[in-house]
Amino acid sequence: MTSRPVSKTKLDTIREATRADTDMQMVIRYNHKGWPKHVPHQLKGYSATRAALSAEDGLLLYRDRIAIPASLREEVLEQIHRGHQELTKSREHAKMSVWWPDIGADINRKVTTYTFCSIHKATQRKEPLITTPLPPGPWQKLAADVCELNGKSYLVVVDYYSRDIEIAHLPTTTSQQVPARISACLADISVWMPTHHLKLNLGKTELLFLPAKGSPMIDASITVEGSIVSPSQSARSLGVILDNQLCFSGHIAAITRTCQFSLHNIWRIRPFLTQEVTQLLIQALVISCLDYCNSLLAGLPACAIKPLQLVQNAAARLVFNQPKFTHVTPLLSSLHWLPIAACIRFKSLVLAFQAARARSRLFSVLTPRWWDDLPHSVRTTESLAIFHKRLKTHLFRLHYH
């Protein structure tokens, strides 16, 4: 007992309370003489872990941890939660020396009853809801796509500013027909704009062509006011850099540069900051940047998103002011930050939940497989808030336990 982080006085107190606890005395007796076939209901928690129980010097032990009698558990919970440590840290503290049946549930109850802990608990930062920004004027930003209805193909062009819609029937969807129709639509727009004292800005006109996988390269150039606009390698939309292969290498590189710049600035003032303030700054400037539109990265190989994971690792080390090569998994677990791959999966599954409940957007490749892999208790949740909580808990256990 001398090797345990408990004073002799406290051991004597626990020993006396153990003698007075009838349930624990029954457990010690059963552990010595053998457990009966039918165990009393109040001892079910002990019976489930009987193989790890032992008695020594008047104390009941669970492996190398001291079993605490019921009369002392509230006092021990106060000691575990001293300093308002969050749930994960409180559980890690308990695993060092004490145990009793359902100790995890009791710690969870203790932590959640404190308003301070509920307000300041570590959470995965939610992605802010960002609406599509309006361009300065009409017909300066367009969206175009080909759709089918009753076996016929149509080109649909939408103006971001006025929400005006142009629809043109496509007899064929060949590489010549579609660019020609887009050029004709833009020609009509360029005629309409001068009559309303507007001008089409060719200098800011970008064309991004996304060919199907394995399809041959074609000339998808369009003509606007006599000028030829050729497809670009990449284009920016709502802060996301889209490339014509949808590998998002440029977007990931841009996020990495932005986050590294923010981390460097925080590192310069880290000696003057507390851990809590550092965490708030990093969540606001770095984690939110990593989370933004991350569902677009679903399906990318691990090597593609590795730069983002390295940024998150550096952020976790900076929060705890740890050296560069410190093992990062315990730090991420303590902060309750999911790895980047799990964050992408989390966002995609939340969108799938909303699609299933609200009949909105559909996803046909990765998300159905991820959805089917979820436990039944998570998939059948009706509330979005509860789904958020259960999904993050599931992914957290998947990656850290």
Q: How would you classify the pairing of strands 65-67 and 98-99?
A: parallel
Q: Is the pLDDT of residue 65 over 90?
A: no
Q: What is the CA angle 15-19-21, rounded to 5?
A: 110
Average pLDDT over residues 39-63: 85
Where is average pLDDT lowest: 109-123, 243-257, 330-344, 366-380?
A: 109-123
Contacts of 274 (CB under 8 A, 6+ apart): none
Looking at residue 320, its pLDDT comes to 92
Q: What pLDDT score was predicted for residue 386?
A: 85
Of 156-170, 282-296, 374-388, give the lowest mean pLDDT range.
Answer: 156-170
Say how far residue 312 (Cα) sits from the centre of its chain.
12
Inter-residue contact 391 to 350 (CB < 8 Å) = yes
Listed residue (347, 338, 341, 339) closest to 393, CA to CA? 338
Cross-sheet strand order for the sheet of 98-99: 53-56, 59-62, 65-67, 98-99
pLDDT at 307: 93
Single-letter residue type at 132: T
CA distance 334 to 292: 22
Q: How far apart are the first and last CA of the chain?
A: 29
Mean pLDDT of 378-393: 82
Indicate the pLDDT class of residue 173, thresholds 50, 70 and 90. low
Q: How confident is the model at residue 140 (pLDDT cuts 50, 70, 90)?
A: low
Summarised one tens digit per residue, pLDDT across range 300-355 is: 888 999 999 999 999 999 999 998 888 888 898 888 888 998 888 888 888 777 77
**pTM of this structure:** 0.47
pLDDT for position 310: 94
Task: Note the pLDDT tens digit of each residue in 262-289.
Answer: 999 999 999 999 999 999 999 999 999 9
Going from the C-alpha of 353 to that of each of 125, 312, 357, 388, the distances in angstroms are 19, 26, 6, 10
* Number of other residues whose CB lies within 10 A of the CB of residue 336: 17
The Cα-based distances of 343 to 89, 189, 265, 285, 286 in angstroms read 22, 42, 25, 17, 14
Confidence grade of residue 361 (pLDDT, cut at 50, 70, 90)? very low
Task: List the beta strands (DSSP E) in 9-64.
Answer: 53-56, 59-62
- H or E element at residue 159: strand 152-159
**Do residues 103 and 95 lie in contact, with contact meaning Cβ atoms separated by under 8 Å?**
no
Please tell me which of 12-21, 42-51, 202-211 the model is most confident about, judged by mean pLDDT.
12-21
